[in-house]
Amino acid sequence: MATSNKPISLAGPLDADVQRTAELNKFLVEAGLYESADESARREEVLGELDKIVKDWVKQLTSQRGYTDQMIEEANAVLFTFGSYRLGVHGPGADIDTLCVGPSYVNREEDFFIVLHDILAQTEEVSELQPVPDAHVPVMKFKFHGISIDLLYASVSLLVVPSDLDISQEAVLYDIDEATVRSLTGCRVADQILRLVPNIESFRTTLRCLKHWARRRGVYSNVTGFLGGVNWALLVARVCQLYPNAVPSMLVSRFFRVFTQWRWPTPVMLCAIEEEELGFPVWDPRKNPRDRTHHMPIITPAYPCMNSSYNVSTSTLRVMIEQFQFGNKICQEIEMNKASWSALFEPFNFFEAYKNYLQVDIIAEDDADLRLWKGWVESRLRQLTLKIERDTYGKLQCHPYPYEYADPSRQCAHCAFFMGLSRKEGVKIQEGQQFDIRGTVDEFRHEINMYMFWKPGMELAVSHVRRKEIPAYVFPEGYKRPRPQRHVNHQHQSDKNNTANGALTGSPDSQLKRKHDTTGIDDTEPCRSVKRASISPVHPRTLSPRSGNISDEPRSDSQQKVTSNASGGSQDSPGSGNRDQTKCSSSSHASEKSLDSVASGSKCVKMEAVCSDDVTSKHVDCISPVKDSTAPTVAVSTTLKRVAEKVVLELVGSESIGGNNAELLQIAEKDMGNVLVENLHFGGNGVPQSGLPEELEV
């Protein structure tokens, strides 16, 4: 295959580029991105042992099914690697992506996920075994001698799998299903990338650098809507093609230069899209309407060509473009000797970047249950981002942070994820206007509670926290939060004294927010005092939690943090009768402010809610103990008469927002949140023209 576009520049490095590359390599080594020779040897040993296990497994099944002695002797399975290990960019402690290819009579559903699973479960060296049969790419996750393994399986249409099987050939795809094709894709893509880059060593160093950068800047995570390993590999490979003679320091700089100017959703492609006669769907927005809705297409180079970055949303694309701009700025300073490489890898201060956050707490009885429960919730977090984009017509932006945090004060297994929330720049919003996402969060919670492997103790809570209320356990030890400057506006202070029910406190921002909270609301009925029964339908076994009005108005410590417990209702719920609903709670929750309960139709809601149909599910609620200056810590179980879980997000601003209204996304109701691929021109080989402007600097 030939690349679709000519290189931008054939220029090689200058002496300064060679020097900067040496400095970059030194930085990467000192950052601990390379594993030791001993660890490399240990990985090889683990792969050798795993290879023996899968070969014995296939021979065992062949014997049990009555095949001849010769067939039993020839029975074989082949183990391949892909991902960072195959590309040669893995670091210390990284997992190994592996693929087992077996014969046609050994299937995935029973033979792989039951028989091989049981063999691994009985293997002393295997721990944390977690099958995920219903994933988009079915996988078995485990640790072998302490090394994390992701094992896929592909059954090809061969009675005997040769040891020298070449899975890059299209013939391997004959007479197999799409799940098997997806399982084979990782290996086929990795091999093709290494064939298409002009200099493998320069590619590896550049990719290692940019993966480290992406982790530091919080944009390395396919599951939450950013980019994963294969996405970054494809982007770096494309830049290597555009600058075939560049050294790593040049490639890093050109990477940011190219992708700050890239005209998304023009796709990134390493080669022309192939259309074989096998009939598998390939990415083609001319034929497939759904492909036109992808925001950041990064196309795999092996048949069947797919968009590897379909998880990207408008919000996560915005975050990544901002980070590309940051990287481009720093690289320009490095080239002018105004900055060092360490400046490029400064961590992103996520918990100082927004005023409002959603906190998603995930709780289970023990670590084993938490691993399963967290995997399910994390795989669905992207849906919460998409739903919020959909229900606010793109005006409210979410920044999901791909790292988890644990509260050490809790007595049970716990982790938490956070999302930054902000209004879309350039969107003019009326004074005091609110985004009502109560139904959005309720819909998300119901979907989470459909988990088919749910166990008692698996709980989920979605709550709103402001920047100053972020729990301390997310910050590194010794970290001191910056104290906001306080410049009190006397007019605002006067207004607050006239409308508030207490003394003026908090930052200028909170003062302005509180002032606006009273605008357009009946003064005799404060927003926080509204507590009415929910009108949402409730499942007979469901206890619907309280949640409420997310605003910038400070709340008292006596308000309670709501936990949505997915462990079944107190009525006829298995295992709920003897279970202590509050044992996982801690008095440290006092710092985590709750959601005020706000009923549907309350005067606090100034923007009509966009709610989807309620989905019945099983869950129960508990209110965690919270410190109160005048009352002891208490724990109260909610009943069916409690208000349904709703979240109202209020992002109020008094400042005039700049920008052009024409920039607001024009989104059809049925395709809310999607950006269409428009004006996409294809060349004679079926490859879209470059997404770069003609005036791109060399």
Catalytic option among 67, 85, 220, 451: 220
Percent of the chain with pLDDT over 70: 67
- Average confidence (pLDDT) over 606-619: 31
Catalytic option among 4, 59, 97, 600: 97
Specify whether 97 is catalytic: yes
537 pLDDT above the threshold of 80: no
Backbone phi, psi, residue 101, to 5° = -105, 120
Specify whether 422 is catalytic: no
Specify whether 211 is catalytic: yes
Digit-coded pLDDT (tens) for 649-659: 333 333 332 33
Specify whether 95 is catalytic: yes
CA-based nearest residue to 126, from 216, 53, 227:
53
Mean pLDDT of the chain: 75
d(Cα 653, Cα 605) in Å, to the nearest integer? 16
Q: What is the pLDDT of residue 522?
A: 31
Cα angle: 150, vertex 224, 371; to 5 degrees: 50
Q: What is the pLDDT of residue 690?
A: 58
Catalytic option among 211, 455, 496, 646: 211
Catalytic option among 17, 111, 150, 552: 150
Digit-coded pLDDT (tens) for 70-99: 999 999 999 999 999 999 999 999 999 999
Digit-coded pLDDT (tens) for 186-241: 999 999 999 999 999 999 999 999 999 999 999 999 999 999 999 999 999 999 99
Which helix (DSSP H) or strand (DSSP E) does residue 97 occupy?
Answer: strand 96-102
Specify whether 374 is catalytic: no
Q: Hey, what long-range contacts does 525-529 have (CB within 8 A, 24 or more apart)?
A: 525/603, 526/501, 527/551, 527/553, 527/596, 527/598, 527/602, 527/603, 527/604, 528/553, 528/555, 528/596
Q: What is the pLDDT of residue 245?
A: 97
Gyration radius from the chain CA atoms: 27
Looking at 61-75, 155-169, 216-230, 580-594, which range is the least confident one? 580-594
573 pLDDT above the threshold of 50: no
Digit-coded pLDDT (tens) for 451-496: 988 999 999 999 989 999 999 999 987 676 766 554 444 444 434 3
Q: What is the pLDDT of residue 240?
A: 98
- Average confidence (pLDDT) over 406-428: 90
d(Cα 394, Cα 673) in Å, to the nearest integer? 6
Percent of the chain with pLDDT over 90: 58
Choose between 683 and 109: higher pLDDT.
109
Q: What is the pLDDT of residue 453?
A: 87
Q: Is 604 helix (H, G, I), strand (E, B) or coil?
A: coil
Digit-coded pLDDT (tens) for 93-127: 999 999 999 999 999 999 999 999 999 999 999 99
d(Cα 542, Cα 565) in Å, to the nearest integer? 10
- Average confidence (pLDDT) over 401-407: 95
Catalytic option among 95, 509, 614, 628: 95
d(Cα 256, Cα 232) in Å, to the nearest integer? 12
Catalytic option among 4, 55, 59, 84: 84
521 pLDDT above the threshold of 80: no
Digit-coded pLDDT (tens) for 506-516: 332 333 233 33
- Average confidence (pLDDT) over 662-688: 36
553 pLDDT above the threshold of 90: no
CA-based nearest residue to 103, from 60, 135, 44, 137:
60
Specify whether 150 is catalytic: yes
